[in-house]
Amino acid sequence: MKGIRFNSVGVCLAVSIITLSGCSAGLMTIGNVKTSTDTFSGITSDRMMANPLSCSNESIMSGAPTIGLIIQRSYGRDYKVMYHLIATWYGGGWGYIEAGESLVLMVDGRRMGFFGPGSAEHRQVEGSYVVEESWYPSNFDQLAVLAEAKEITVKLRGKNGEVSRCMTSTNLDNFKVFLKYFPPYIAIEGPVRK
């Protein structure tokens, strides 16, 4: 039996296909959450790794950015839980997400605005694309409303214009899974007292 041989073009093509398929919005599993602890501050964070929004005929190849909406839960040594809704901008050009009410959602016909500091502290270049994040303080009840919604339209405003996307059923399911496994309390295990 002969072995399979790959030339450099074949390997590059395979890697490209795998990489591009990873960009599609799939159902989140607990493996799609990164948990990390800052040893200096003692803050532990549970963060969704990806949740790209859809409902746009534009593609990143046309210069339109990919917009994502993820949740992060954090807590410190005092176990006080904080949530953030994080909007991500990934594309060929900067959006310069603005400070203030730059994330607006229409949730089943009801407007929900989120205020944040903008992306000034969270901008980077990855290859030929730019990545921006803007963090919006939130709470479990607000996120639960989003997870249970039937229809959500997302508008993200930057200095270079506004981008609208919508959350698919997969996006909403990802929120449900995250909130189920990362609730607003921390289970503390310890010795059983008699």
Query: Tell me: the pLDDT tens digits for 114-129?
Result: 999 999 999 999 988 9
Instruction: Please state, in angstroms and rounded to a whole number, the distance separating the CA atoms of residues 5 and 47.
Output: 39
Using alpha carbons, select from 132, 52, 58, 116 the residue that is nearest to residue 83. Answer: 116
Q: What is the pLDDT of residue 63?
A: 66
CB 131 within 8 A of CB 93: no
Q: In this predicted model, what pLDDT tens digit does every residue of 26-60 receive, in sequence order?
A: 555 566 899 999 999 999 999 999 999 987 555 54
- Edge-first strand order for the sheet with 152-158 is 110-116, 100-107, 152-158, 161-167
Instruction: Please state, in angstroms and rounded to a whole number, the distance separating the CA atoms of residues 23 and 51.
Output: 9
User: In this structure, what token pair is assigned to residue 187?
Assistant: 């289970």
Given phi > 0 = left and psi -120 to 50 = alpha, else beta, which region is 174? alpha
Helices 140-148 and 169-181: crossing angle, nearest 10°?
140
Ranges of residues in the chain whose predicted pLDDT is under 70: 1-31, 56-63, 189-194
Taking the model in full, what pTM does it have?
A: 0.79
DSSP classification of residue 114: E
Instruction: Please state, in angstroms and rounded to a whole number, the distance separating the CA atoms of residues 76 and 41.
Output: 8
Q: How far is CA 77 from CA 40, 48, 161, in A?
A: 11, 21, 40
Strands 81-91 and 66-75, by their bridges, are: antiparallel
- Edge-first strand order for the sheet with 129-138 is 33-37, 44-48, 66-75, 81-91, 129-138, 123-126
Q: How far is CA 13 from CA 4, 5, 87, 92, 144, in A?
A: 15, 14, 31, 22, 41
Q: What is the pLDDT of residue 5?
A: 39
